[in-house]
Amino acid sequence: MEIIDITVPLRAGMVVYEGDPEVQLERVHSIEAGDVANNSRLDFGVHSGTHIDAPVHFIPGAPAAEELPLEPLLGPACVVDATAVDGNLNADALRTLDLPRTERILFKTRNSRLWELDRFSPDFVHLTGSGAEELVDRGVRLVGLDYLSIGDPDAHRALLGARVVAVEGLDLRDVEPGEYELVCLPLKVVGSDGAPARAILLRD
C-alpha cells in the first residue's frame, strides 16, 4: 500500500494566513546545556499548516474542535484536478469539473505552487458561497483545499453550518488526481475554533 503524506510540516517561520500568529519553536531544556532531556515549546495558531476548521470558527455557539466528527475524516476520497480554474471555485466553476459522486473531495488547484513561496499570497483559489452551497447540495461531507483557507466567509458559513468538515492547508503538489483512502485526524483541542491535523492518503 502506498502512503502519501499530504500534511504541511509545522516549522518556525513557516507561511501562515495573513494576520495569524507566527509559528515559533523554542528549545527550553537541552541535553547539551546539562538537562536530562531535550524539551521544546511550540507556539502557533490553530489555523497553521494543515488543519481543520471547527464550526465555531464562523458560527457563534457552534461546536468546537473537540466535537469534530471523525467518521467524515476517514474513508474514500477523490482528489479533483482543479488546476485549470483561474478564478475561484464558485458553482459554475465546479460544474465544469465533472465532480464525482463522493462524500470527500480534495481540490488540487494552482495553489499548490504557493507552498514554494516564503510569504503569504492573498491571490489563491478558494471556494465561494455558491461553490460551497453546490457541494452541500451534492451531499459532500468533507472538503479539502491546498492552501490556508477553504474559502471566503460565505463559503465557510455554508460548509460549517451544514456540518461539512473543512480541511485547509493540504499539500497536494505530488498527488495525482484520482481515488484514495483519506485518513485525517485533528488534535482534540477543547474549545478551539480549529485543530492541527495529520493527513495522509492511502492507495493500493
Residue boundaries of the structural domains of the chain: 2-9+45-203
| Degrees to nearest 5, angle at CA 81 with 104 and 4 | 65
Sort strands 51-53 and 165-168 into parallel, antiparallel or unpaired: antiparallel
Q: What tens digit of pLDDT does each residue of 82-116 get? A: 999 988 999 999 999 989 999 999 999 999 999 99
Q: What tens digit of pLDDT does each residue of 111-150 get? A: 999 999 989 999 999 999 999 999 999 999 999 999 999 9
Q: Is this structure's pTM higher than 0.85?
A: yes
From residue 159, how far is each of 73, 76, 117, 146, 195 by CA, in Å?
A: 15, 19, 28, 17, 17
Q: Determine which one of 29, 47, 51, 57 is catalytic.
A: 57
Cell triple for residue 176? Answer: 495525482
Residue 141 has a CB neighbour count (10 Å cut-off) of 19
- 57 included as an active-site residue: yes
CATH superfamily of 2-9+45-203: Putative cyclase (3.50.30.50)
